[in-house]
């Protein structure tokens, strides 16, 4: 439906991969970026569940740097994708659909590669 330029496809795929790396890295981090005491809530009325968090040591300097690096990379890739000249070739109503299609273009390519 859309003939996306290769550099736009590559930028979108890099954005997907960087976002995935960021999410995976974030799962390994303490729950608070700064050292913070843990807590325990009151028991819930009907379930008896009591939520709690252990103390957080906060992020190390290396973790802060890696989070900042990944966020900067995400911002740069987002800017490349969203300001690409290709979008000016589409009609106003087609840009949103085109951007949604681009987000899944790598999936369509993978299916085509497997079929070949």
DSSP letter (8 states) at residue 53: E
Listed residue (29, 26, 9, 25) closest to 84, CA to CA: 9
pTM: 0.81
- Mean pLDDT, the chain, integer: 91
Kindly report, residue by residue over 66-116, the tens digit of the pLDDT: 999 999 999 999 999 999 999 999 988 899 999 999 999 888 766 555 555
Structure tokens at 75: 């911002």
Position 114 scores a pLDDT of 56
Listed residue (83, 78, 75, 85) closest to 103, CA to CA: 78
């Amino acid at each position: 439906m859309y003939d996306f330029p290769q550099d736009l496809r590559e930028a979108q795929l890099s954005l997907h991969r960087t976002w995935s790396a960021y999410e995976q890295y974030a799962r390994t981090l303490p729950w608070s970026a700064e050292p913070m005491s843990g807590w325990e809530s009151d028991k819930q009325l009907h379930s008896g569940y009591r939520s709690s968090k252990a103390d957080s040591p906060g992020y190390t300097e290396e973790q802060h740097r890696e989070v900042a690096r990944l966020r900067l990379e995400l911002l740069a890739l987002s800017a490349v994708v969203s300001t690409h000249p290709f979008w000016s070739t589409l009609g106003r109503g087609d840009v949103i659909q085109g951007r949604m299609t681009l987000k899944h273009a790598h999936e369509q390519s993978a299916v085509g590669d497997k079929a070949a």
